[in-house]
Structure 1
Amino acid sequence: MKASYVAIALCTVLVVMLATEEVSVAAVTCNPTELSSCANAISSNTAPSNLCCTKLNQQKPCLCQYLNNPNLKQFVNSPGARNVARACGVPFPRC
């Protein structure tokens, strides 16, 4: 009987964790201007700032959307952008 209470508690915790994760992903607003702090690092092949890496991590769920946009693809898919993503530890998306 005691084991079933533990199983129910663990399931409840798991459901809450998954629900919280979905909320945090859904809270991302895709806005390419959020990555403006990365422009210098992308264009001059310099190390990205902490702000750039933070913003890039926040916008990670949006990168495929940006790659599929003809106006943004050339910037997001550039060698400089790939270097910044690598330096920030953000895997380049496969869309």
Structure 2
Amino acid sequence: MAKPRCAEKQLEVCRWFINEGVPPKFQCCMRLSEQRHCLCGYMTKPVFKSYISSPNGHKFFDICRIPFPRC
């Protein structure tokens, strides 16, 4: 099965959790999992890097059971 195209907009459903620290919904974790192969590319952009590297970003990966990207 082909990987989904990298599309930052797909992660919009996760913004609330990262900004406010509320638990992510299933849809957010699913989208993150689908976009996992894109995360290192996203981290080259300052806005995304600050979200992903934030304390809430780390919690987010733990809750969704997705390894934090090693780029």
What range describes the TM-score normalised by the shorter chain of this pair? 0.7 to 0.9
TM-score normalised by structure 1 residue count: 0.68
Structure 2, gaps ≥5 residues long? none
1-structure distance, mates of 2:17, 2:50: 16
RMSD of the alignment, in Å? 1.3
Q: Which has the higher contact order (CA 8 A, sep 6+)?
A: 2
- Larger CA Rg, structure 1 vs 2: 1
In structure 2, the partner of 1:65 is: 41
Count matched residues.
71
Moved over 3 A (4+): none
2:65 paired with 1:89: yes
Structure 1, gaps ≥5 residues long? 1-22
Name the structure where helix makes up a greater proportion of residues: 1
What amino acid is the match of 1:60?
A: R
Percent of residue pairs identical: 32
